[in-house]
Amino acid sequence: MFLKDEDRNFIKQQLSAMTDTVKIIHFTQSIECSYCRETRQLLEELALLSDKLSLEVYNFQLDKEEVAKYKIDKIPATILIAGDGTDPGIRFFGIPSGYEFMSVIEDIIDISNQNHGFEENLLQQIRGINQPVHIQVFVTPTCPYCPRAVRIAHRLALANQHITGDMVEATEFPHLAQKYSVHGVPKSIINETSSLEGAVPEQMFLEKIKQTIH
């Protein structure tokens, strides 16, 4: 068991704020995958804590149709899907443990309640983005500042269908950390071409996105 009794009780209380159902889709395999078994176990325990949560598990090697549909290129991978079947573009690559586990909980609640939490002024700017934006936020489970960056990326994805936000656990994907010169976390990569270091404010994150696509 990953979750202690007090953790489960706290998470149940948090998830009671959900209004609509949310589906967790998980991609894994049984061999040659660091933390795949642990990630699946963690998600199985989580899915039991609310009747509004469900979990679907797919094999990365065998379930080619689903892998292609959700554009999964590495595992373990976890996606959150809204109750109406909408994919808001929220991804977790690697085990969302430590500080990052609350990112999953908060994302689930936001998707369930269709609440991105942005003020109107910022929301208008976000909705003005009309071309694809791919944000990769590199994290480690022991980084207390990383969830803030992940949550901003995921809330941006929730607010605009053109935006996809990935959490990438740096130690599980060292080749990517090296590719993007990740020496400290959080580090956010936008469309492969620009980056932000640290947990920056929402407006600064948005300005960097606008600079990148214009």
Q: Are 18 and 50 in contact (CB under 8 A)?
A: yes
**Confidence grade of residue 188 (pLDDT, cut at 50, 70, 90):** very high
Q: List the CATH code of the domain at 120-213.
A: 3.40.30.10
- Spell out the CATH class of 5-113: alpha beta
Q: Are 157 and 89 in contact (CB under 8 A)?
A: yes
Phi-psi group of 47: left, alpha or beta (phi > 0 → left; psi -120 to 50 → alpha; rest → beta):
alpha
**Confidence grade of residue 214 (pLDDT, cut at 50, 70, 90):** confident
As beta bridge partners, residue 190 has 135, 194
pTM of the model: 0.97
Longest dimension (CA), the chain: 49
CATH 3.40.30.10 in the chain is located at: 5-113, 120-213
The residue type of 192 is E
Measured CA to CA, the distance from residue 120 to residue 143 in angstroms comes to 30
Average pLDDT, the chain: 97
